[in-house]
Copies of this chain bind each other. A is one copy, B any other.
Amino acid sequence: MPPDRKPYHRADEDTRRQALITATLALVAEGGAQAATVRAIAQKAGVTAGLIRHYFQGKDALMAAAYAHLMHRMTADSAAVLRTAPHDPKARLAAFVTAALCPPVVDGEALVLWAAFMQETHRDPAMRQTHAQTYLAFRDQLQSLIADLLGHSAPQDLRRLAIACNAVIDGLWMEGCALPDAFAMGELVDLGLHAVGAILGADLAGQSAQGTPVSTQSNMKVPA
């Protein structure tokens, strides 16, 4: 008695892994980590649950892979913003801040996603390391932009300024994600440019409306 099986087609390894990772991220985003069960992931990816074990060592490994994928996409997109930005240091920094405070970086899903993975990060040392790397890379990028703008102050001061500016961006990012209706279009960007400008002692607000594609994903949120 052959019970009718679901017909299927073979896909190469990368495609399948990618589909599983995408499905995992989607589920975590919409329902938290607990919503990403092996069965739900498989269903969303259009396969059956057992397949996960065929491509990953277990559910934990899939989660770790999804997290790493998310972080790498973030850093890659962040770098892309800088590649298309102008050459004036002030405009480049303004573009960076603007990109970090606009959709799709500012997004209701993004915050949930970030929060969900932070807990995993708190338990799994491997995830913690993945995070630390990407987080510091993001801050270093910001610090580099500040250095270009300020004409290379003392490294200590640069680090402090980068931390403070990063905090502003993170904080505004959080509020924008969490309370999307509480801010008018562009208000978040305006606030960010003013605040970062105030901290650095430079006027960035004039740069806001030009040369910023505002179309990629970045940001680097914490955990330990």
- Which residues of A pack against B, CB within 8 Å? 31-34, 108, 111-112, 115-116, 118-120, 122-123, 132, 135, 160, 163-164, 166-172, 174-175, 177-180, 191, 194-195, 198-199, 201, 221-224
Q: What are 23 A-B residue pairs whose CB atoms fall within 8 Å in the complex?
A: A31-B123, A32-B122, A108-B122, A111-B118, A112-B119, A115-B115, A115-B116, A118-B178, A160-B194, A163-B191, A164-B168, A164-B194, A164-B195, A167-B191, A168-B171, A168-B195, A170-B174, A174-B174, A174-B221, A175-B222, A177-B224, A198-B199, A199-B199
Copies of this polypeptide in the complex: 2
Q: From A115, which residue of chain B is reached at the shortest CB distance?
A: B115
CA distance A167 to B175 in the complex (A): 8
Distance from A166 Cβ to chain B, minimum over Cβ atoms (Å)? 7
Nearest B-chain residue to A224, judged by Cβ: B178
Known: A174-B174, A180-B224. 11 other contacts (CB 8 A): A32-B33, A32-B122, A111-B223, A118-B178, A164-B168, A170-B170, A171-B174, A174-B221, A177-B222, A195-B199, A198-B198
Q: Could you tell me if A175 and B168 are in contact, using CB atoms closer than 8 angstroms?
A: no
Taking CB atoms, residues of chain B closer than 8 Å to A169 are 171
Residues of B within 8 A of A132 (CB): 179
Q: Would you call A32 and B119 a contact (CB within 8 A)? A: yes
Residues of B within 8 A of A166 (CB): 171, 175
A180-B224, A195-B167 given; A118·B122 CB < 8 A: no
